[in-house]
Structure 1
């Protein structure tokens, strides 16, 4: 394995330089770091029902004619994820609606309204992703505590 990237705790807390960021990306890519992070996020999104809900929302966008291109759909999806996540924070809700991946939220069929699709990023996805990211960064970074 390559030599760990050394930085001070101040450097780790501040915005990283483009060179430092590239070094970290390269170190993560040269091992299994990126694949482990992706696998964790994929597993948690699948387990929480987020991926099923996302797929249903995208299908609804195309079937309804609201979107006709990939770029339009991606813009709408990103906007909805941000909106639903911010809405949940504003409402103080830390849980998202339960989906069964077939008939919609809590077994109720979905109609054409996009509000029926909750695309809030589930807390378990964020928690597991952050935990895995920390583990993988510790493998490639050596943070020296400033005195």
Structure 2
């Protein structure tokens, strides 16, 4: 059960890999309050306002109608792969499938990333106390 006491994290630990126990404590603290719901709501709002959710819905519909996907798991995997490729700028213009993908802008808008990051930070600051230690 999460307590109201902030979780203490040193700056080195916050910037590097954190232990599974600490990660679980942070998740528990976020779940105990409104943290996760606030993060989800912020991201959902930003993605909806930017048109990303509509674009993704159109792309997934295209996957089913074209027969490229016959299950939800397949459509999800193809959509995630396309998002990943577009975010990394790895559009391969030679394949037919990728020409179809180019009709859809599946890059996560930078404003959604920035605002989402701000929300995550605000929510983490509510449950974590990051302290600096001299090296």
State the TM-score, normalizing by the size of structure 1: 0.81
The equivalences for 1:72-83 within 5 A come to 72-83=74-85
The 3-state SS of whatever aligns with 1:40 is: helix
Q: Which runs of 5+ in 2 are unaligned?
A: 91-98
Deviations for 1:83-120, whole angstroms, at most 9, x for unmatched residues? 111118xxxxxxxxxxxxxxxxxxxxxxx922200100
Question: Secondary structure of the residue that 1:116 maps to in structure 2?
Answer: coil
SS in 1 for 2:12: helix
2-structure distance, mates of 1:64, 1:7:
50
Q: Please, what is the CA RMSD of the aligned residues?
A: 1.3
Separation of aligned partners in 1, 2:67 and 2:46: 30
Query: Match for 1:114 among 95, 101, 117?
Result: 101
2:71 to 69, 81, 85: 69
**TM-score under structure 2 normalisation?**
0.88
Q: Distance between the aligned counterparts of 1:141 and 1:113, measured in 2? A: 44
Question: By percentage of residues, which structure has more helix?
Answer: 2
Does structure 1 residue 136 correspond to structure 2 residue 132?
no
Aligned length: 124
